[in-house]
Structure 1
Amino acid sequence: MLVKLNLPMHPQRLKQDNGKQLIFCWVRKKFLILTPEEWVRQNLISSLQYELSYPLSLMKIERQVKGGARNKRADLIICNTQGEAQVLIECKAPNEKLNKETFFQVGRYNRYINAPLLVISNGLEHFCCELTDKNDFRFLEAIPAYIK
C-alpha cells in the first residue's frame, strides 16, 4: 500500500510486471521497482518539476559520490546548466525518521558534491538548508523555486 505523502501529489505511472510493482522515472525514462524510498523520490521529483519549475534535464539520480566511500550514491542532484551541483537531495522511506545521522549523511556526500542547497525528505517531513560558507548553514522554510 502506498503511503500518502506530505507533498503536492501528481499522477505517477505505475504497473505490475512479473508480480512486482513498478513506477516510471521521468528522469531516467524507465520503470523502476517501487520501493518506499522510490515512491518518495518520484513524488518529490514531480513536485520539484511541477510546483517549483525544476527542469528534469538538470536532475541526476543515484550518482556515485566521487571521493566518498565505495558504493555511496546521492539520491538526487540538481545541477545548473553548466553541470555544477546546485541542490543535493537525500530521500528516505516514509517510515524512516529524519535525524542527525541523515543530516550527517547528506553533509558527508556534499563534501565531494559542493551543492549550496541540501534537502532531506522522507515524504512526510522535509528539511532544506543553504550553506552560507564551508562550515555553516541556515535552514530555509521551503525548497526555493528554480531560477534560470
Structure 2
Amino acid sequence: MVRLNLPPFNINVRKSQGRLEIFDVIRKKFIVLTPEEWVRQHMVHYLKNDLNYPLSLIQIEGGLKYNKLQKRTDILVFNKQGNPAVLVECKSYKMKDMGEKVFQQAAMYNREMKAPYLVITNGWGYYCWSFREGDIRQEKEIPAWNEINRQG
C-alpha cells in the first residue's frame, strides 16, 4: 500500500477471498482494505500511539441521522465524560482536494455530534478546527489526549 504522511504502525493485513483486509483494533476484526480504510487505520493508530487517545473511547463508523438520512462518522473520539470530543472525517489518499465540499460534509456531521474539534484528512495532510462558544478556529495541530482532558 501507499506510504502516507502519518507515522507507520504495526500493520496486520491478510488476503481473504481475493481481497486485502486490514485488522481494525477498534472493531477487533478484519476490514476490506480500501484507500479510505487505509487512511482511517493510520489515523486511529496516530491518535492512539502519538496523541495517547485511549482505544476504548474511539468509535469507528458510528451512525447518526441527518435530515432523516442515516449517515456514518469515520472516527469519533469521546472524552472521559462520554461526550464527543473529536470528529475525524477520513477521505481516500487518492483525493487530493479536501476543499469546501468536504468541510461542509464534515461540519454537517459535527452539527449533530457537537464535538469541540473537527479533523479532515486524506493521509497526506489534515485540517483541524475547534468550535468554542460560537467561534470556529483553524488549529495547527490535532490536540493530544491530555489537552482534551483539560477541557473536560
TM-score interval (norm. to shorter): over 0.9
Aligned match of 2:124: 124
CA RMSD of aligned residues (A): 1.1
1:59–1:78 Cα contact (<8 Å) kept: yes
1:81 paired with 2:63, answer no
Range moving further from structure 2, 68-77 or 46-55: 68-77
Structure 2: runs of 5+ lacking an equivalent? none
2:66–2:109 Cα contact (<8 Å) kept: no
Scaled by the length of structure 1, what TM-score is found? 0.94
Scaled by the length of structure 2, what TM-score is found? 0.92
Q: CA deviation at 1:69?
A: 4.4
Percent sequence identity is 41
1:60–1:78 Cα contact (<8 Å) kept: yes
Corresponding residue SS for 2:145: coil
Structure 1: runs of 5+ lacking an equivalent? none
Aligned match of 1:59: 58
In structure 2, distance between residues paired with 1:83 and 1:45: 18
- Which string of whole-angstrom CA distances, capped at 9 and with x for unpartnered residues, describes residues 17-66 of structure 1? 11110000000100000000000000110011000000010001111123
1:68–1:112 Cα contact (<8 Å) kept: no
Q: How many residues align?
A: 146
Aligned match of 2:113: 113
Letter aligned with residue 141 of structure 2: A
